[in-house]
Amino acid sequence: MKKTVLVAGGGGFLGSHLCDRLIEDGNYVICADNFYTGSKDNIVHLMSNQRFEFIRHDITWPLYVEVDEIYNLACPASPIHYQHDPIQTTKTSVLGAINLLGLAKRLRVPILQASTSEIYGDPLVHPQVEEYWGNVNSIGLRSCYDEGKRCAETLFFDYHRQLGVPIKVVRIFNTYGPRMQIDDGRVVSNFVVQALRGHDITVYGDGSQTRSFCYVSDMVDAFVRMMATDGAVTGPINLGNPGEFTILELASMVVKMTRSKSKIVHKPLPKDDPIKRKPDISKARKILSWAPKVELEKGLLATIAYFRQILKTR
């Protein structure tokens, strides 16, 4: 039975790919976005589809629609964007969660929260497991995002325990792919754009810090699988690729794959930037029967091709 699904933040990088997948599966999709970091370009190909509807809306205000499922992906996710207006970032996470949970409560429908690996802060446990409470600075420059997402998780579980709202909470680790913003400051887009432009590749610190990179199609598949679980499955569940690479390894790979003459230069490490980041996805494997399929090199090829095309118009 096909459903009507609300995707808050559906004009963003991840959200637009989720809209694609839901439409492909035969569902009706209502995409809500205020384009703070999203883009019309990400969803323009869906505008003529009769099963797709777009609403320009900021989820810090209530939204009244009739749907069968809700995905909450609405929040700026890159440091450059969420630090630009930190108060609004916190409002988006907290007030947005309250408004969408209220909608889910009224409609009695499941709601999925796109949480984040930033919940774990600069982790002292490696790899990170869902039971780890994190090592987070609550008053730092990144706190608007980290603490906003942590508070949103609190709200989700309290709405579930107190009011019976069916919730799904996933913690997203670094995800990349086409439709990332060219200036979002994330490591994959930064390196690819710098390499294609022939600029220096900026590595912060000595480059020994690690990240795990999950291709966007794998992440979207995990979202759909999580939403399809029975009501007893609430999460939180880590979603990401357990393959671990140093930042320097990623930079070297991008330079090689783009055949760029860019040089790698080092700059000071930003405050509170995590040294290690790698998900333990044991729960995702067991509960969702899910694991990433796209290898980093293959995903980078698609991402490089996307940015190469975008840069032709700039």
Place of tokens 């609004």: 88
Residue 23 belongs to domain with CATH number = 3.40.50.720
The yes-or-no verdict on residue 209 having pLDDT over 80 is yes
266 neighbors 203 (Cβ within 8 angstroms):
yes
Residue 256 lies in a domain: no
Residue 208 lies in a domain: no
The model's pLDDT over 255-273, given as tens digits with 9 standing for 90+, comes to 999 999 999 999 998 877 7
Q: Taking residues 113-132, report their average pLDDT.
A: 95
* Total number of domains in the chain: 1
118-127, 205-214, 283-292: which has the highest mean pLDDT? 283-292
Reference 281, options 238, 243, 245, 236; nearest CA is 238
Domain that holds residue 61: 4-173+215-240+276-293
Pairing type for strands 210-211 and 245-246 reads: antiparallel
Q: Is 306 a catalytic residue?
A: no
Residue 182 lies in a domain: no
Round the average pLDDT of the chain to a whole number and report it.
95
Q: Taking residues 174-201, report their average pLDDT.
A: 95
Confidence (pLDDT) at 92: 96
The span from the CA of 39 to the CA of 43, in Å, is: 8
Confidence (pLDDT) at 275: 86
Residue 181 lies in a domain: no
Reference 104, options 227, 236, 22; nearest CA is 227
The catalytically annotated residue of 36, 71, 145, 215 is 145
Q: What percent of the chain has pLDDT over 70?
A: 100
Confidence category of residue 228, pLDDT binned at 50, 70, 90: very high
Residue 204 lies in a domain: no
Residue 258 lies in a domain: no
Residue 36 lies in a domain: yes
Confidence (pLDDT) at 185: 85
Residue 25 lies in a domain: yes
